[in-house]
Structure 1
Amino acid sequence: MTTSQQRGQQAENWACEYLQAQGFQVLSRNYRLRGGELDLIGRDADYLVFVEVRYRSSEKFGGAVHSISLAKQQRIIRTAQHYLLRYPVDLPCRFDVIAINQAQQITWIKNAFEI
């Protein structure tokens, strides 16, 4: 039996492999602050992208795609702002979501939410 943390790590591994196969350059994984975490940070063409990876074994309550609350979005945005203060870049930024279901189907939602 796997723990939810192990499932989350496996989902991030799948997301990394998928994104890299699409030409995405992964720059960082699991950037953490006390108030939040960025699962993946990378470059997609001319964008710096902050990626939230969501895995759900069930489609109840909307599945992985709909599991990111407004509060979670705000934590991701605050953490991204901290990252940009620490590592300034001259690129436009966006927030993407990788949603993975139990059948390991991956949905990449570009620009899933904004500041």
Structure 2
Amino acid sequence: MAEHNDQGSKAEQMAKDWLVANGYQFITANYRYKHAEIDLIMEKGGILIFVEVKYRSGTGYGYAEEFVDYRKRQLIIRAADNYIYEEDWKKDIRFDIVGVYQSKSGGIAFKHFEDAFY
């Protein structure tokens, strides 16, 4: 596995643990539908939350949320629609972005964008 893929997997695990510690219930990870993938599916307060996780080792190339472009959002929405259909989900949904930032000293910080798009 390429190093950036390994870092992405670690970031997803850290984001999952961080969200669970903040009251979210983990449903599934890496849900795939055709060419789309949803990093994390969580639930909190009766809302199903589709989470895109972005890892950055710095902000020199931009912030995590800037890398979820229109095409990526459309793929996530398409996969979410399929998941909702498969599970017959009838309650509210939300799309979040969690940025996982690693400082030069190795420290980790999270930036959570609730209801980031639709």
Distance apart, 1:34 and its partner CA: 2.2
Separation in structure 2 between the aligned mates of residue 18 and residue 108 of structure 1, nearest angstrom: 10
Q: Could you say which residue in structure 1 is the equivalent of 2:53?
A: 53
Distance apart, 1:46 and its partner CA: 2.1
Separation in structure 1 between the aligned mates of residue 117 and residue 60 of structure 2, nearest angstrom: 22
Separation in structure 2 between the aligned mates of residue 23 and residue 12 of structure 1, nearest angstrom: 17
Q: CA RMSD in A?
A: 1.2
Distance apart, 1:77 and its partner CA: 0.3
Distance apart, 1:4 and its partner CA: 0.8
The aligned runs of 1:27-38 (5 Å cut-off) are 27-38=27-38
8 Å Cα contact 1:46-1:92 kept in structure 2: yes
Separation in structure 1 between the aligned mates of residue 54 and residue 38 of structure 2, nearest angstrom: 12
Separation in structure 2 between the aligned mates of residue 27 and residue 62 of structure 1, nearest angstrom: 30
Q: Could you say which residue in structure 2 is the equivalent of 1:68?
A: 68
1:51-86: CA deviations, max 9, x gaps? 000011231342212111110000000000011111
Q: Could you say which residue in structure 2 is the equivalent of 1:96?
A: 96
Provide the identity percentage.
34
- Paired residues, what number? 113
Separation in structure 2 between the aligned mates of residue 102 and residue 22 of structure 1, nearest angstrom: 20
Structure 1 gaps of 5+ residues are none
Separation in structure 1 between the aligned mates of residue 102 and residue 70 of structure 2, nearest angstrom: 24
Q: Could you say which residue in structure 2 is the equivalent of 1:3?
A: 3
Distance apart, 1:27 and its partner CA: 0.4
8 Å Cα contact 1:63-1:101 kept in structure 2: no
User: Partner amino acid for 2:110?
Assistant: I
Structure 2 gaps of 5+ residues are none
Structure 1 runs of 4+ aligned residues shifted over 2 Å read none
TM-score when scaled to structure 2?
0.90
User: Partner amino acid for 1:29?
Assistant: A
8 Å Cα contact 1:58-1:101 kept in structure 2: yes
